[in-house]
Structures are given as C-alpha cells and as structure tokens.
Structure 1
Amino acid sequence: MEMTNLKMKKLLMDRLARENFSIIYDHENKQLRIEDKDTKKGITVSIPTVVSKWEEKKEKAVDEIVYHIEEALKAMTGVQKLEGKEKYIFPVIRSTSFPTETKDGKKLIYDEHTAETRIYYAIDLGSSYRLIDFPFVEQEGWNEERIKQVARFNVRSLKIELKEDEVAGNKFYFLNTNDGYDASRILNESLLEKMASQIKGAMAVAVPHQDVLIFADIENDTGYNVLGQMVMHFFTEGQIPITALPFIYENKELEPIFVLAHNKPE
C-alpha cells in the first residue's frame, strides 16, 4: 500500500482522537498540531517525516509517533516536583537550533557545549521527561546552579555498555541503551578520557541523535569516510536528531569536523 501525506494525516487523526485533544492540520506546511484543550500546550508533527519513517517501519512508525505525542502531552500538562526527585534530573544534548524557550515563552535552562550542540536539563518522568525552565525552578525554590550540579552528577552514574565493530582497520564503539540519555553520556569526562587512553589513532566522537553515542578509533582515511556515512545514517534515522557532524576529541576538547568523501577532515 502506498502511503501519502493525506492518508497519514487521516491515520494520525483517527489514532489521536481524544476528548481532551484538539487536532489542527496546517495544509501549507503539512503539519499536524495536537494540543491539550485545557492548557493549550501541544506538539507539532511533520506529516512527510512520519510518511518517510512509515516507508521503513510501516505500522511501527505510527505506533511510535502516537506514543511519543501522548507521553509528551502528559509531560507538558502533568504536575511535577523537583524536591525528592534529585536522582531523576539529567542533562540532555540538543542541536544549537533547538529553541531556548518553551512555546509559551518560558526560558529554558541550558549551557553552550560545542559549535553544534547545546546542553539542556530535564526531569525524568518515567516514559517521558520535561525540559526544565526557569519559572519551574523558581517556584520549587531551587536555582540554576543546583540543577546543573545534580544533572552532571547523575549522568556520571549512568551505565556504560559499549558494542564494538571494526571496519578497514578502524574501530567503532556504540552506546545505545535507549534510556533517553545515550547522547548525554558525552558529558561524562571520565568516560571520554578512558576512551582516549585506549584509542591508538585519532579519537572521534559523535551524537547524531539522542539515543546513540559513537566513539571511533580512526587509523586511516577510510575510517573518516565510514564515520561520515555512519553518522549521517544515524542522524536521518533518529527520533530526535542532534548533529550529522562528528567531533575530534583532543586535549579534552571536542571540535566538529566536516568529513569529505575519500579525504581526511577539513
């Protein structure tokens, strides 16, 4: 069966029909806006993006997006507390194009990270999480620095399970636990230093989307080509893409690189 934008729009509208949901279709931009009727908070979905995922995953793609929307709306409209939830506060990595305010104008807590990435902070709600904004912190009697310290401590406690692969003399290590914080582990400095100590060639690191962290031990030109293709593949497949550019890790610094076919990075 061929899936079109119109068919997908109808399928999603049917699957998301709820008494407390308002669904609006933006014909010009081919986007579906799903909002909670009481709070007016919501999420916008690109129909062509879902169609593209459907072509690969079929019904599973629709199940995933429906679940993501429902959980995101729960997170937006539910009541959350910080006190007593210290162990559930984590940093999350996003691209520098990610908004620094919520749709209703609340400024999010964030830090600059690299030229490609930014660090935001979230409270884990189980099956979803809420990005932490300044009004939320202030009403809880906390401050920005406390959030950041707790989150940085917690990310170091996350388990590290790497899968290893080798291509043309270059080693690649993948971290993919799907706990929502795989990319966040790039902030674990002791992990980066541990990897640097065992890598023989150039050390590259990549966070193409939220649910994967890649380390690469690049020993020849082919390694750069493989890394570039790999990162682009993950970037296009991810639910929450971050950056298609890998980083060279040197002297405890991350520097984005452009990988050109058959060449070393420029």
Structure 2
Amino acid sequence: MDSKNMRKELESRLATADRKFTYDRDKDQLRVESKKVGKGITVSLSGIVAKWHTENEKAIDEVVYYVEEGLRAMEDTVQLTDHEKKIFPVIRSASFPAEAEEGVPFLIDDHTAETKIYYAYDMGKTYRLIDSRIMEKEGWQASRIREIALFNVRSLGTALKEDQVAGNTFYFLNKNDGYDASRILNKGFLSEMQKKITGTMVLAVPHQDVLIIADIQNNTGYDVLAQMAMSFFASGRVPITALSFLYENGELEPIFILGKNKRSE
C-alpha cells in the first residue's frame, strides 16, 4: 500500500454527490470537503499508510469513520440553548490548532504547559468544538460554557480498571466516549483518588480516550508509566501528550521521565 493507492481507497469509500476531493501532492494530504457547508477535513496519507502496515484495514476504517462523523458534525446545526447537557470540556495538546480552518477561533482555556482545554458540543458519535461563531450565533458568553461544561464532566462515569506492576498500582479510565481525558478536570474525582494513593500520585492523558492514574511506589513505577504513556500516545486517534503529571495539592505539574530510575521536573 502506498499513498496513491490509499488515496484511491479513501476516495472510493468516502465519495458522495455532496463531496469533493482535493489532493496536495507536496504535503501528501487529501482534503474531503462538504459542498453543503464549504468545510472539510484534511488527512495525511503518509501517516495512514504507515499505520496500515501494522493495522491493515483497521487503519482505513478508523479514518473513514473519523471523516464521516466529522463531516456530519460540520453539516449538523449546533444549538446550545436547551441542549446544555451536550456541552463538555475536552483536553488537547498545547500545539493543537487555536482556530477552525476558516480562521474562526475556538474557545480555549489554559490547563498545563502541555495541555489546553477546549469545549465541545456532543453530537452522539462525535462532537464539534465550540468556536466564537457558535457563541455569537447563540448569544452565549464563555463563562457560561465553562461553568456548564465543568459541571457536566462531573456527571461522567469514573469506573476504573486496575493493574499492578513491581509494587506500583495503575488505574485506567477508558470508556471510549470521547471524554476519558476530560475526567482529569473532575477535581472531586481526583481528590477521592488521592485518598487511595499511598505513594506518589501521577497522571497521564496520552490521548483523548484514556486517563491513567498511577500510585508510584518506586523508580520502576515511573519507567513503566513512561512506557505506557508513550505507547498510548503513539496509537491514539487524538494524541495529547506523552508526558506525565504529578498531582499535588490539587495542582498538576508536568514531569519528564528520563527512564532507568531517573526523572526530572
């Protein structure tokens, strides 16, 4: 499989009368655009090809799903009023785009040096990031969206899976509802988890569909967490950061784990 064949495969699967395709040869990117709204999604073919060599058809299926749901979200109308329960915060990397492709800025808040908080309108199988155009159309202030989103994230389930390695305990939250990483904003949940921790509490949000909470008892625990975070980061559909975070006094502090019993803040 090469970029040329991948392009043909994606165009074949995604083609409808209401869409058009544009290929950027220099960047090896394919753009799929909705004629209805004049907006679209751009995907990197080289990245998909690389993933195809390890995951085969699953790599293509994921991209098709991502594009289909993304275009549907663009075409559907966002109505915040009377749909407050659909507003949630989402965590993104600090380098994530600050505006939509049309140059409309998203509503963004600072979180850590590695992460930022965006806000989303849930549309079932996907969601749409809230931008200034949506806020203006609906007549909503940023403070109202923040308050509702942070309230709603507290309503999400927090059931955890648990694993132990070399005396360290690792908890995984992986509901695959698009808001797993968002649970890091649930201060009540983190406070309750801290009561269970007997060592050092360290968290990781390598991609949007997982939150890792670690009870670190020894240096091996840091190495294991670093390897986990990197593995999840490399495989996630929406990667955030491979770095971990110390949790102390209700605050998150990014740490870089050097490996082999060394770490630095």
Question: TM-score normalized by structure 2?
Answer: 0.97
CA deviation vs aligned residue, 1:210-249 (integer Å, no higher than 9, x gap): 0000001111111111111100000000000000101111
Corresponding residue for residue 12 of structure 1:
10
Contact 1:207 1:242 in 2 (8 A): yes
Give the 4+ runs in structure 1 shifted more than 3 A: none
What are the ranges of 5 or more consecutive residues in structure 1 without an aligned counterpart?
Answer: none
Name the CA distance, whole Å, in 1 between partners of 2:194 and 2:152. 22
Name the CA distance, whole Å, in 2 between partners of 1:115 and 1:219. 26
Name the CA distance, whole Å, in 2 between partners of 1:149 and 1:138. 18
Contact 2:78 2:134 in 1 (8 A): no
Corresponding residue for residue 237 of structure 1:
235
Between stretches 206-215 and 20-29, larger displacement belongs to 20-29
Name the CA distance, whole Å, in 2 between partners of 1:264 and 1:41. 47
Alignment counterpart, residue 193 of structure 1, candidates 183, 191, 194: 191
Q: How does 1:61-72 map to 2 (within 5 A)?
A: 61-72=59-70
Corresponding residue for residue 212 of structure 1:
210
Contact 1:165 1:172 in 2 (8 A): yes
Alignment counterpart, residue 50 of structure 2, candidates 27, 49, 52: 52
Contact 1:92 1:122 in 2 (8 A): yes
1:195 is displaced (CA, Å) by 1.2
Name the CA distance, whole Å, in 1 between partners of 2:75 and 2:136. 18
Alignment counterpart, residue 120 of structure 2, candidates 103, 119, 122: 122
Question: TM-score normalized by structure 1?
Answer: 0.96
Give the partner amino acid of 1:158.
L
Give the partner amino acid of 2:181.
A
Q: How does 1:51-200 map to 2 (within 5 A)?
A: 51-200=49-198
Give the partner amino acid of 1:99.
P
Quick one: percent identity of the two aligned structures?
57
Give the partner amino acid of 2:243.
L
Aligned residue for 2:263, secondary structure, equals coil
CA deviation vs aligned residue, 1:120-175 (integer Å, no higher than 9, x gap): 00110111111111221121122111111000000000001100001111110000
Corresponding residue for residue 228 of structure 1:
226
Name the CA distance, whole Å, in 2 between partners of 1:264 and 1:192. 26
Name the CA distance, whole Å, in 2 between partners of 1:127 and 1:261. 38
Corresponding residue for residue 23 of structure 2:
25
Give the partner amino acid of 1:209.
H
Name the CA distance, whole Å, in 1 between partners of 2:252 and 2:263. 14
Give the partner amino acid of 1:19.
A
Give the partner amino acid of 1:200.
T
Give the partner amino acid of 2:38.
K
Name the CA distance, whole Å, in 1 between partners of 2:132 and 2:32. 25
Name the CA distance, whole Å, in 2 between partners of 1:213 and 1:82. 27
Contact 1:228 1:246 in 2 (8 A): yes
Contact 1:134 1:144 in 2 (8 A): no
Contact 1:111 1:118 in 2 (8 A): yes
What are the ranges of 5 or more consecutive residues in structure 2 without an aligned counterpart?
Answer: none
CA deviation vs aligned residue, 1:4-63 (integer Å, no higher than 9, x gap): 222212111111111111111111111111111232211110112212222232212211
Name the CA distance, whole Å, in 2 between partners of 1:16 and 1:115. 37
Give the partner amino acid of 2:61.
D
Aligned residue for 2:41, secondary structure, equals strand
Give the partner amino acid of 2:165.
V
